[in-house]
Amino acid sequence: SVASKQQLDLIEGACLVLISNGISHGYQLAKQFESGAALGEVLTLSRPVIYRTVKSLEAQKLIRSVDSLGSRGQLKFKLKCTSDGEKQAKQWLSEPVSHIRDLRDEFLIKVLLLQTFNLNTKRLIHTQRQTLIDVTKTLLADLASNPVAIWRREQARTAMRFLDELDGASQTPSIESKRQFQVSARNQLRAQVAKVRHGDTLSTVYLSLESNQTMTSTITRDAADDLSLAPGSQVVALFKATEVMIAQSAAEVG
């Protein structure tokens, strides 16, 4: 039906996934979003909100109530997903968000749901990263000095660092790691990986600098794999030169 195909909002999607994974009573759903619960750390919901969401999912024919007997023989209603509900729950859980601002709630809720039911999170994280790469590049390319542009650039950098660390591939050193490991090279440039081209033994890494310039670095294939370099990765380019040569055209010399 048309109703069953409408786009799920955050609360509907989260509740549908919980029901599809065996959370079958309204009070059990509400407990998942209490302050202090894993999901409640991101989104705290009251019982009336949960019950309204259950009614909405029933109206969309994504869930249904079935009779069941409690431990004392009392009649209780148990929530179950319809076949369409099961499909939409899986689809919603696998979809990345389109905007950086939605990482804070919808994306985090999806990751926590996957972890709650011991499901693989890497596919969603990788898909999310690929989805936001173009958005991030656009925001970082705007070098305007007004507060809004600066804020958007910082949001873009933070989003990529967050996804890198969530994937276990963050190259951003923590305060503790800085104490343990210092680099002597003073020529350091913050950059973003634009492209990586792998050969049999060497990899060429194309970097976009904050000054809107580019740099190319050739490193071993093993090093590139160890660093998990991919388009959008935030890195620091370190270089040390023993000499710098200067050239000038013959016309300018004359």
Q: Which residue stretches of 21-98 are H helix?
A: 26-32, 47-59, 83-94
Q: Choose the CATH number for 185-239 among 2.40.50.100, 2.60.40.420, 1.20.120.920, 2.30.30.230.
A: 2.40.50.100
Pull the structure tokens for residue 249.
Answer: 């055209």
Q: How far apart (Å, rounded) are the C-alpha atoms in residues 213 and 192?
A: 11
Three-class SS of residue 67?
strand
Every domain of the chain and the residues it spans: 3-93, 95-170, 185-239
* Class of the domain covering 3-93: mainly alpha
At 29, the amino acid letter reads L
Q: How far apart (Å, rounded) are the C-alpha atoms in residues 210 and 157?
A: 11
Taking 50 as the pLDDT cut, the residues of the chain under it are: 1-4, 169-181
Q: 36-81 pLDDT, tens per residue?
A: 999 999 999 999 999 999 999 999 999 998 866 555 555 567 899 9
Predicted structure pTM score = 0.64
Q: How far apart (Å, rounded) are the C-alpha atoms in residues 191 and 207?
A: 6
Pull the structure tokens for residue 91.
Answer: 């689809």
Q: How far apart (Å, rounded) are the C-alpha atoms in residues 26 and 79?
A: 8
Give the per-residue pLDDT at 209: 83
Q: Give backbone dihedrals phi and psi of 30, rounded to 5 degrees, phi first.
A: -60, -35
